[in-house]
Chain A
Amino acid sequence: MFRNVAELVELAQSRNVPVSEIMIEQEMDVRSSTREQVVGQMERNLEVMEQAVERGITEDVRSHSGLTGGDAVLLQNYLKSGKSLSGETMLDAVSKAMATNEVNAAMGTICATPTAGSAGVVPGTLFAIREKINPTKEQMVRYLFTSGAFGFVVANNASISGAAGGCQAEVGSATGMAAAAIVELMGGTPEQSSHAFAIALKNMLGLVCDPVAGLVEVPCVKRNAMGASNALVAADMSLAGITSRIPCDEVIDAMYKIGQTMPSALRETAQGGLAATPTGRELEARIFGVSLDKK
């Protein structure tokens, strides 16, 4: 079992196999399962992701609170105008990331990657890249195993919980996971995946978890949007040959330590940050009839 990214990369490179293969084999071993069982379960997760994305970019999805919904569709419509500055794959990924989180906020069915609040980044980037390179189903499933392998290291060595480590632990982790998986899908090496992960997470360090009214909506949906764009840029940088000066495992460790020193008001308690802004408090009071900090 790999304990960190360095071991994961070493395992994959010494055997000349992709990171996804290491993850599949480890899962078969841990669960005493066949390859068919493990891959089959991931295929089912992929289907759930596809359905959530599809729903989010075509339906008028609205959350119970009314805080979020409909933005994925707006962006899809804007894309069709052909006027976008940041490009088709980029905005498609952003839209599909938001689509997933809008469905999540509406208590729809999603697949946590690694959490529900950060469930948009990995599928958002994947289904946007699908439009560009038309990957096989196997490649798409491998994308999820590679994401999972990196997320596995973060979950065990740091945290993937916003309450424990802030948004950097959730959308930050998801962004790194997606960046690493994009690299593998685009033909990069395991080493390049680790650099993409490091570059992506470095730019999410310190991100607090400050959901308005404690709901996984504002700013979560838009943080997934930016996570998706960050992942694409980090992957492109790494594929271009740019490396992270700080090794991936040390970035993960830095994220963990930042999370530990983050005040509780900024770790999913709706007590600080955007949640504590005048508008945040006003929305909160409107949704619950009374502000949470006055209870």
Chain B
Amino acid sequence: MAHARFSFSVIYEPRVHTVYIMKGGVDVKFRSVFDIIGPVMIGPSSSHTAGAARIGRVARHLFGREPESITISLYGSFAKTYKGHGTDVALVGGVLDFDTFDERIVNALTIAKEKKIKVRFIEEDAVTDHPNTARVHLKDDKGELELVGISIGGGKMEVIELNGFALGLSGNSPAILVVHNDRFGAIAGVSNLLAKHEINIGHMNVSRKEKGKEALMTIEVDQNIPQVVLDEVESLPNILQVAKISE
């Protein structure tokens, strides 16, 4: 497969975690009252601890397994204050699959060490659009993943970049990510198939790094997409990998 560097076939488990993705169009950033009254979490900071844990956990779920090494670059306020807020502990806790209220977060660095996972933090000086930005790089002998997440307040986070692709999805509705060859008909194939299964697309975004090469479709839909449909999408011409992101 063209991108062995990232195992994309892993299905994001429904209900385990909400993946919040980049705002787009007129959609609102916060959709649920529990984004405001919540989350229940280990202190001390919703943006620097809970949001950070969620960024780490999304990376872990998209990677699909425990990595052998974790490299995290911190920007802006994250870079300045991560030690005091436990941002480092929380990000690694998230990668270890701990939820925001999991008390094991407090000891995440020690737990990672016991598991012999290499952990490295880089404090970046670069100015980013959002003050709380983290670039999470996970790796093992089978592949690697790089994700950029921003913590936008109150424990809510957004994934703005995945393996170099800018993500342009809105809200936290069920969504699928489709890696495909940048060829004519690839997008139509996927949308026709979803239409056949009466799945409505609420928002769709396509990005590519280079013309004619690998591209990424991010599709937000109104309901959960059954596995059989995903398998069908993956079998379409020019479709390389499919991953589901659900609430």
Contact = CB atoms under 8 A, between A and B. Distances in A.
Interface of A: 1, 23, 26-27, 30-31, 41-42, 44-45, 48, 63, 65, 103-117, 119, 122, 144-145, 147-149, 151-152, 155-156, 159-164, 169, 177, 211, 213-217, 264, 267-271, 287-288, 292
Given A267-B131, A270-B81, A271-B80, A160 B44 contact: no
B64 interface: no
B29 interface: yes
Interface of B: 28-50, 76-77, 80-81, 83-86, 101, 103, 106, 130-132, 151-155, 247
Given A63-B44, A112-B39, A268-B77, 4 more contacts: A31-B247, A45-B34, A152-B35, A160-B36
A197 to B, nearest CB: 13
A106 B43 contact: yes
A115 B32 CA distance: 14
A107 B105 CA distance: 10
A110 to B, nearest CB: 6
B44 A112 contact: no
Contacts of A152: 30, 33, 35-36
A112 B131 contact: no
Given A114-B154, A116-B50, A214 B39 contact: no
Contacts of B101: 109
Contacts of B77: 163, 267-269
Given A216-B44, A217-B44, A161 B152 contact: yes
Given A30-B31, A264-B131, A110 B154 contact: no
A268 B80 CA distance: 9
B80 A270 contact: yes
Contacts of B31: 30
B33 A23 contact: yes
Nearest to A30: B31
Contacts of B152: 161, 164
B47 A27 contact: no
A34 to B, nearest CB: 15
Contacts of A65: 84
B40 A268 contact: no
Contacts of B83: 214, 288
B153 A164 contact: yes
A147 B37 contact: yes
Contacts of A288: 83-84
Contacts of A156: 28-30
A214 B85 contact: yes
A41 B36 CA distance: 13
> Nearest 5 A-B pairs (CB), nearest first?
A161-B153, A214-B81, A104-B43, A151-B36, A214-B84
A213 B49 CA distance: 16
Contacts of A177: 36
Contact of B80 (A30, A103, A214): A214
B153 to A, nearest CB: 3
A270 B37 contact: no
A129 to B, nearest CB: 17
Contact of B46 (A63, A117, A145): A117
B33 A270 contact: no
A112 B85 contact: no
14 contacts: A30-B31, A30-B32, A109-B101, A113-B36, A115-B45, A147-B37, A148-B37, A155-B154, A162-B47, A163-B47, A163-B77, A216-B44, A216-B85, A268-B47
Contacts of A114: 36-37, 46, 153-154
| Interface-centre pick from A45, A147, A155, A271 (highest chain B CB count, 10 A) | A155
Contacts of A162: 47, 153
Given A104-B44, A112-B46, A45 B84 contact: no
Contacts of B44: 63, 104-105, 107, 116-117, 215-217
A109 B99 CA distance: 12
B39 A269 contact: no
Nearest to A31: B32
Nearest to A20: B33
A145 B33 contact: yes
B122 to A, nearest CB: 13
Nearest to B79: A269
Contact of A45 (B38, B47, B151, B247): B38
A161 B29 contact: no
Contact of B153 (A103, A109, A155, A292): A155
B215 to A, nearest CB: 31
Nearest to A152: B36
